[in-house]
């Protein structure tokens, strides 16, 4: 799940709902399917709903505050990569999830990621508790509670989870008494940072730094791979439990993270500008054929500026996003994606008639969006459309929280750039080279997960699943489910 997670604690005992609300609001780009809140004040209080976090007025905030009292809370905005996709399933699997063995014996979890061995975890939970989990977040929450009940120690319980659970998980948890903590998988695949208020009374965790900034909190640090961080003791208590080497998801820089968030020591927009400059240098000959640059709003706008600066070619903002059509097509269900494409952007036809266009976008996953946009550009009179892609060609599925979980859906997995251009009706498709992309992030290449563009996964079960699925596909087998679901069911005899 490429979700947004947030957790906040006020050491002076003041209500934290507004901090929680605005922190999640700033992260809503990471998940549109559902949202949820959990607070603690003498007991657990929860609220959940489908869609984006609603806009509420002062009276509405007062009503929410009565429903969600407390000086500590966690929340989540979700887009699913496991579990059912019907409305009842989406609502059931809305995070934060609660595991409760008895009154006063519970855990609440909000996480971002995806568990590769979720089925085995779900079977373990059911065998030991009788609870049947509907998604991987519930399984992880119950696993944590089981380990806490056995070990009576939070660091030991979290470490046991890290040893047995494979995948990506940046998690914020709340425990009885209003304890707040956060932890990351041993590779740190998904982002998660910690911050404090200037006076030090409020401590918070957020998927991105923007969630801290919107509440006037100072970024203190990025949670390390395999680290447990506990809040509320006057300062954060940090325990490095299991470190297998950082592998931050490379796709965060191109698409998921907000441009004003910090990843590593750079703002995301700075990386995207560098990616545009790199494309201009790599494909100077093709770019010289073009009359102007047009960007897909809004994740490619910064890259377009970089391309303009490097090439001198005019950046014409001839594709405009409808401000109040806020859905991100990539993280929508397939049938919803087809419906929204024509409604999300407008084309300024008069600016394109007779022009050869350099169209820049953050990525090509399935090709649906790009094909539709090119069709509209050429229908508006563009003579040629040359596509420049800031992210390298995606050739393998993601098992760590990005919903591109089969080879079949990835246009780049079975087609060369020339074939992709033919399919989407572009005059050329020009992908960012992998090495250039890695340099632009400012992070060492060994600290990034690039499985989707290299086929090399940081965890062993994921690598085995990808290799097995590729072999079966080459033998003519069909993909009916996400690969990690297909492989786990096959291995259990339930497929």
* Spatial separation of the C-alpha atoms in residues 376 and 348, rounded to whole Å: 10
Alpha carbon distances (Å) from 423 to 76, 108, 339, 384, 473: 37, 46, 20, 15, 21
Strand residues in 269-400 grouped as ranges (E):
292-295, 319-321, 345-347, 356-361, 384-389
| Kind of pairing between the strands at 345-347 and 319-321 | antiparallel
- Tell me phi and psi for residue 386, to 5 degrees: -105, 125
Residue 445 in 3-state DSSP? helix
* Spatial separation of the C-alpha atoms in residues 84 and 93, rounded to whole Å: 8
DSSP state of 216: T
N- to C-terminal Cα separation, the chain: 23
Strand arrangement of the beta sheet that strand 218-222 belongs to: 44-50, 34-40, 72-78, 4-10, 202-206, 193-196, 218-222
Alpha-carbon radius of gyration of the chain: 23
- Tell me phi and psi for residue 272, to 5 degrees: -65, -35
Q: Is 453 exposed, middle or buried (0-12, 13-18, 19+ CB in 10 A)?
A: buried
Partners of 47 in the β-ladder? 37
DSSP state of 255: I
Count the Cβ atoms, other than its own, within 10 Å of residue 277.
Answer: 19
Among positive and negative, which fits the CA dihedral 91, 96, 98, 103?
A: negative
DSSP state of 493: T
CB of 111 closer than 8 Å to CB of 359: no
Catalytically active residues, by annotation: 3
Alpha carbon distances (Å) from 222 to 237, 238, 448: 14, 11, 15
* Spatial separation of the C-alpha atoms in residues 274 and 30, rounded to whole Å: 23
């Amino acid at each position: 799940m490429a979700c947004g997670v947030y957790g906040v604690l006020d050491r002076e005992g003041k209500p934290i709902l507004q901090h929680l609300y605005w922190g999640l609001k700033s992260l809503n780009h990471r998940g549109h399917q559902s949202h949820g809140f959990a607070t603690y004040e003498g007991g657990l209080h929860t609220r959940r709903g489908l869609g984006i976090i609603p806009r509420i007025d002062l009276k509405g905030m007062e009503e929410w505050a009565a429903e969600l009292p407390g000086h500590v809370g966690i929340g989540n905005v979700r887009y699913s990569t496991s579990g059912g996709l019907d409305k009842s399933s989406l609502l059931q699997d809305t995070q934060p999830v609660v595991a409760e063995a008895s009154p006063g014996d519970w855990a609440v979890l909000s996480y971002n990621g995806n568990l590769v061995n979720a089925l085995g975890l779900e079977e373990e939970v059911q065998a030991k508790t009788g609870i049947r989990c509907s998604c991987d977040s519930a399984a992880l929450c119950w696993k944590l509670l089981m380990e806490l009940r056995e070990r009576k120690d939070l660091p030991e319980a979290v470490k046991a989870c890290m040893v047995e659970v494979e995948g990506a998980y940046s998690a914020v948890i709340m425990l009885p008494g209003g304890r707040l903590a956060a932890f990351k998988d041993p590779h740190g695949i998904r982002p998660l940072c910690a911050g404090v208020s200037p006076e030090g009374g409020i401590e918070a965790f957020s998927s991105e730094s923007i969630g801290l900034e919107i509440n006037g909190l100072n970024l203190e640090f990025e949670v390390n791979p395999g680290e447990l961080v506990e809040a509320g003791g006057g300062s954060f208590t940090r325990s490095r439990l299991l470190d297998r080497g950082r592998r931050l998801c490379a796709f965060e820089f191109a698409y998921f993270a907000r441009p004003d968030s910090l990843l590593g020591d750079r703002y995301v927009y700075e990386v995207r500008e560098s990616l545009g400059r790199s494309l201009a240098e790599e494909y100077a000959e093709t770019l010289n054929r073009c009359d102007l640059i047009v960007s897909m709003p809004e994740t490619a706008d910064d890259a377009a500026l970089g391309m303009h600066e490097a090439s001198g070619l005019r950046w014409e903002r001839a594709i405009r996003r409808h401000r109040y059509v806020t859905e991100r097509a990539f993280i929508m269900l397939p049938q919803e994606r087809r419906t929204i494409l024509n409604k999300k952007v407008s084309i300024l036809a008069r600016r394109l008639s007779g022009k050869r266009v350099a169209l820049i976008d953050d990525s090509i996953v399935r090709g649906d969006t790009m094909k539709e946009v090119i069709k509209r550009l050429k229908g508006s009179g563009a003579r040629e459309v040359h596509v420049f892609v800031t992210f390298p060609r995606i050739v393998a599925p993601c098992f760590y929280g990005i919903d591109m979980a089969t080879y079949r859906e990835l246009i780049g997995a079975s087609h060369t750039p020339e074939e992709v251009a033919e399919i989407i009706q572009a005059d050329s498709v020009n992908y960012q080279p992998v090495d250039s992309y890695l340099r632009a992030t400012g992070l060492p290449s060994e600290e990034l997960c690039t499985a989707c563009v290299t086929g090399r996964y940081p965890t062993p079960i994921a690598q085995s699943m990808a290799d097995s699925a590729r072999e079966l596909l080459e033998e003519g087998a069909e993909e009916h489910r996400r690969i990690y679901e297909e492989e786990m069911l096959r291995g259990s005899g339930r497929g």
